[in-house]
Structure formats: structure tokens, C-alpha cells
Chain A
Amino acid sequence: MEKRVVFRHRLLPYLLVAPQILITLVFFIWPASQALYTSLLREDAFGLRREFVGFTNFQRLFNDPLYLDSVWTTLLFSAAVTFSILFFGLLFAAMADRIIRGITYYRTLLIWPYAVAPAVAGVLWLFMFNPTIGIIAYVLQGVGVSWNHNLNGTQALIMVIVASVWKQIAYAFLFFLAAMQSIPKSLIEAAAIDGAGPWKRFRTIIFPLIAPTSFFLMVVTLVYSFFDTFPIIDAVTSGGPARATEILVYKVFRDGFIALDLGSSAAQSVILMLIVIGLTVIQFRYVESRVQYQ
């Protein structure tokens, strides 16, 4: 879609886009190309010597058990986070869709955690899971689970998953609710007249009609679980104990910024870039395909 009526000016349009383009070139494209370039080099930590090594950094990465562990942790973490967010978002939206009176208040009370910074969300749950004073640890002790996420890697992973899910349910909830409320009432009524009960209506009408939204939410939530959960990991567990919560984006940060293994960190950056690009392309393909529904 294009405008028929436009202004004619030789210089003005360039001045208008200049700030955005400059910032993009300096802080996005140049650093990204640097990462690409560095990923093909081997450099010592002081930056004194560099040599071109081709794809060696990538080969080393894929033979590195620590990296493969991190890939596995990321998959587990992202799958758990994405599934839980979609499940609870859909559950609350389906229930809220039935409620007519008081829906605005319910909605307000459900969505506020979205505004909480991931790092702060992490601290809130860290406090509740604290082995000596935390309420959840206390309850778990009561049912015979000895909770200590400082020693037990699985427990630490569960804790960061819970914090990540809690923060983001609101997002899925809002999108599911908007999708459900845009379904024409006549469709639902027609099904009801034909004798379809609530569950059958949900399964055969509502669910298929919100499928595009579900797919879109899945992609967006995957991106969230891959990248936006960095603050939770950093503030709560710092990747520990014994790397049990070291997801890929945390490992890039740690290897590059703390361990100063520049070549490896750059190679990891490049892999993450490929993941984001892939997910973004899928997301935009969805936007195009959705047009057909309307």
C-alpha cells in the first residue's frame, strides 16, 4: 500500500530518516557485522593478536560439552516457559471470556505483572523460594521436599521458570482475550442452538478461530524465553548452581564479558542472531497469512 499524494522535496526526507538510520547503523548494523567478523577470528584476551581461523570457533562450540549443555538447558527452559505461559494465558482468557460483570477489574488485577521488570520479578520469587525464610520453601518443607536452589540445579531451574512465567502470563492472556472477543457472537449462538455444549463450542469453534493468535503468541513467547529472560537469570541465579540455569543468552554474556573469550562469544552471538532472524521471519510470514482470515 502506498500514498497517491506525496510531497516533493529533495533533501527533507533524508533529514527526517537520518537520526533513526544513523543510530541503526552505529549501534545495530556495525556491531552485528563486527560480531560476524570476530566470530571468524581467534583473538587473545588482550586484543594483541588476531588471526583468521574460518569456522573453527563454530566447530569448537559444537564440540564443547558445556555449550551443548547450555543448548539443552535453553530448550528445556524455553519449552517449559512457553508452554506454561500459553496454557495459563488461554485458561484465564477462556474463563474471563464467560464473565460479563466485573471483567475490567479482573483484567486489571491479572495484567499488572507484565509491567514488572524481569529482574525485579526474579527477586520477588527468589524471596519466596528462599530456603530459610521463603514461604514456598516452607510449604515445600512441610510436604517433605527439601528446597535449596543454591545447591540443587533442577530446583534453581524451576525457580527461574516460575518467575519467567509469572511475569508474562498477562501478555498471552490479553491477546487470547482480544482474539476471543472478536469472534462474532452469532457463530457461538448458532452452535449453541444446534446443541453444542460449552466445551464442544470451545473445541470446534473458538479454538480453531484463535489458532492464528496462538501461533503468533507461541513465536513471540519463544523470543521472550530465549532473550528477555536474561535479567531473571542474571539477578537470581547467575547461571548457577554449576551452570544449571545457564541459558544461551546468559552464556554469551558470561563468555564474552566475564571470561573474555571473544571469538567464542562472537560465534555464539552469530548463532543467536540466526535464531532471532528465523523467529522474526516466521512471525512476519504469519502477519501476511493472517490477512486471509479477515
Chain B
Amino acid sequence: MIERTRWLDWLAHATVLIGIAVVTFPLWLTFVASTHAPESFFRGLMPFWPGGRFLENYEQVLFEGVQGVGGAPVGTMLANSFVMAIAIAVGKIVISLLSAFAIVYFRFPFRMLCFWTIFVTLMLPVEVRILPTYEVAANLQLLNTYTGLVLPLIASATATFLFRQFFLTVPDELTEAARIDGAGPMKFFWDILLPLSKVNIAALFVILFIYGWNQYLWPLLITTGDQMTTIVMGIKRMVNVADSTPVWPEVMAVATLALLPPVVVVILMQRWFIKGLIDTEK
């Protein structure tokens, strides 16, 4: 038996609670700031308790945008972010499922070449090929389009590997049975493989939704029009207003709106999230 050391248990709880307090404090402060009038931030110390301007501030940013910044209302940005995040997550899952299916269930010339081509994407994040990728997108007339926002981001080595690993664990007997019953490859994929992959798909969707929602550099490069701004990239302009101090309550309302969807997804789908996170890195 392991001895119970009382003071150590207390220390464990205390450390974790302090950690939680430190980690959660910025969120509380952000929310509090988003419910006050701008005047509350002229005096020295900011308030620690929510004020009475919750509705006004959120209404202002959602439907009209942050004062003095211009650009699209945050409602539009939120819509853009949702479209981008969901399209990226669904797109990545679909094309990874298909290519993993091909690589595991078929033997064809250049199979390994395909595998390594997909693998290479791991080594080439947007950040190291900014300019030439922008040029390609510009030449294909993809600037300021949803296609341009989404398409270049949906290649996914990690998702392909995850599905490949999973398909390899699916018993061969299932495939044989399906073949004896006269099912073609696509019928097998659709009726047997896909239902079996549900758990993996759900876990991956959570991770990829967060990935898509939090994209920054690529939307920054590819969109110039106000109507295409996503909320995560839009927030930068609200902070760096020329010649004046940012309207903090409204900026913090935008920050709250920007972080809420992915955070809610993580909290509600925690089990899938942890599975997805740990599986994709294996």
C-alpha cells in the first residue's frame, strides 16, 4: 500500500488550485472588462467585478464593429470564422479518410511516393513558405475567397496517419466478408469503414475545429477586404489603433467572442478533445 501523506495531498490540491487561478484569471478579467464603460479604464486600477454595460458593448461590436476602427461588424467576422473552421475541419477529415483508404486498402504503383508526399506537408508549415504560397493563391484568383481561405489548409498528414493507423487495426475478416458478399471498395468504405471510424472522426473534428478557428497568418495574407476578415485576425487591428488608446471594453468583448467557441467546444467535448490531441501526435 502507498502511504497517504496528508500534507502532500494538501500541497497537491493547493498547487493545482493556484494553477487554475493563474490560468483562469485572464479570462475573468477579459469578461469583466467587456462589461464596463470606456471611462472605467481612465482611472488607475481597473474594476474586478462586472459592470452594467454587457448588452450595450456586445451589441455594439456584433452589429456595428468597434468604435473608431472601422471594418466589418464582428458578427460578420464570427460568421467567416465559423465557415472557415468548419470547412477546414470537414475538408481535412474527408480528404484524409479518402487517401488513407487508398493507401491502406489498395496496392498501386507510386503508393509509397503518395505516402511520402503527404508526409512532407508536416515539414512545411505556412510560416516557412509565406511568399511563394501567397503567389500561388494570387495566380489562382483565390484572394478574398472562402476557397482561398480553406483549400490550401486542408492537406493533412496527421489526419491521414491517424486514419491509416486506425484502418490497419480493422480486422481483415471484415474486408473478406464484404468481398464475399460482393461489396465493392466504395460500398465497403461507406458501410463498414466509415461507421467504424466514428470515434476517430469525432475526436479529430474537435482538434481540427480549434485549429481552423485559430488560424491567423494565412487569413491575414489572403484576405484584404473587410467582408472576409475572420475574428482572430480582426482583433489585431482593434488593438493597434493609430494615435489613440484602444476602446478596451469593446476590444475585450471581441476577445471574449473570439475565444468562446473553441473553448466551449473543448469543455463540452473534453473526452474527444483529449483523445484527438493524444492520438494525432502518436
A interface, CB within 8 angstroms of B: 1, 3-10, 12-14, 16-17, 19-21, 23-32, 34-35, 38, 88, 91-92, 95-96, 98-99, 104, 106-120, 123-128, 132-135, 138, 166, 169-171, 174-175, 178, 188-189, 192-193, 198, 216, 220, 227, 230-231, 234-236, 238, 249, 252-253, 256-257, 262, 265-266, 269, 272-273, 276-277, 280, 287
> Could you say which interface size class chain B belongs to?
35 or more
Q: How many interface contacts (CB-CB < 8 Å) are there between A and B?
A: 299
Measured in the bound complex, the distance between the Cα atoms of B281 and A126 in whole Å is 31
Measured in the bound complex, the distance between the Cα atoms of B245 and A249 in whole Å is 28
| Docked-complex contact A123 and B255, CB < 8 angstroms | yes
Q: Which residues of B contact A166 (CB under 8 A)?
A: 23, 26
| Docked-complex contact A7 and B263, CB < 8 angstroms | no
B198 in contact (CB, < 8 A): no
Q: Which of B103, B114, B132 is packed against the most chain A CB atoms within 10 Å?
A: B132
| Docked-complex contact B124 and A28, CB < 8 angstroms | yes
Q: Which of B3, B134, B259 is packed against the most chain A CB atoms within 10 Å?
A: B259
Interface string of B221-245 (1 = CB under 8 A from A): 1000000000011011001100001
Q: Which residues of B contact A106 (CB under 8 A)?
A: 16, 20
Check A19/B130 contact, CB under 8 A, given A28-B121, A189-B2.
no
Q: Which of B10-26 contact A (CB under 8 A)?
A: 11-13, 15-16, 19-20, 23-24, 26
| Docked-complex contact A127 and B107, CB < 8 angstroms | no
| Docked-complex contact A216 and B281, CB < 8 angstroms | yes
| Docked-complex contact A272 and B127, CB < 8 angstroms | yes
| Docked-complex contact A88 and B172, CB < 8 angstroms | no
Q: Which residues of A contact B44 (CB under 8 A)?
A: 133, 138
| Docked-complex contact B216 and A230, CB < 8 angstroms | yes
Measured in the bound complex, the distance between the Cα atoms of B258 and A30 in whole Å is 33
Jot down 27 A-B pairs with beta carbons below 8 A, ordered by A.
A3-B167, A6-B105, A7-B185, A20-B118, A20-B156, A23-B151, A31-B136, A35-B131, A108-B270, A109-B20, A112-B263, A117-B213, A117-B232, A119-B216, A120-B259, A124-B30, A124-B255, A132-B245, A133-B42, A133-B45, A175-B281, A192-B1, A192-B2, A231-B216, A231-B217, A257-B131, A266-B131
Interchain nearest-CB distance for A137 vs B (Å): 10
| Docked-complex contact B127 and A230, CB < 8 angstroms | yes
| Docked-complex contact A9 and B185, CB < 8 angstroms | yes
| Docked-complex contact B96 and A20, CB < 8 angstroms | yes
Which residue of the partner chain A has the closest CB to B230?
A: A117
Would you list the 7 A-B pairs with minimal beta carbon distance, nearest first?
A31-B132, A16-B102, A117-B214, A34-B132, A231-B216, A13-B106, A115-B262
| Docked-complex contact B24 and A5, CB < 8 angstroms | no
Measured in the bound complex, the distance between the Cα atoms of B78 and A166 in whole Å is 24
Which residue of the partner chain A has the closest CB to B154?
A: A23
Interchain nearest-CB distance for B82 vs A (Å): 14
Measured in the bound complex, the distance between the Cα atoms of B248 and A29 in whole Å is 43
| Docked-complex contact A91 and B15, CB < 8 angstroms | yes
B66 in contact (CB, < 8 A): no
Q: Which residues of A contact B96 (CB under 8 A)?
A: 20
B55 in contact (CB, < 8 A): no
Q: Which of B122, B130, B184, B235 is packed against the most chain A CB atoms within 10 Å?
A: B130
Q: Which residues of B contact A5 (CB under 8 A)?
A: 172, 175-176, 179
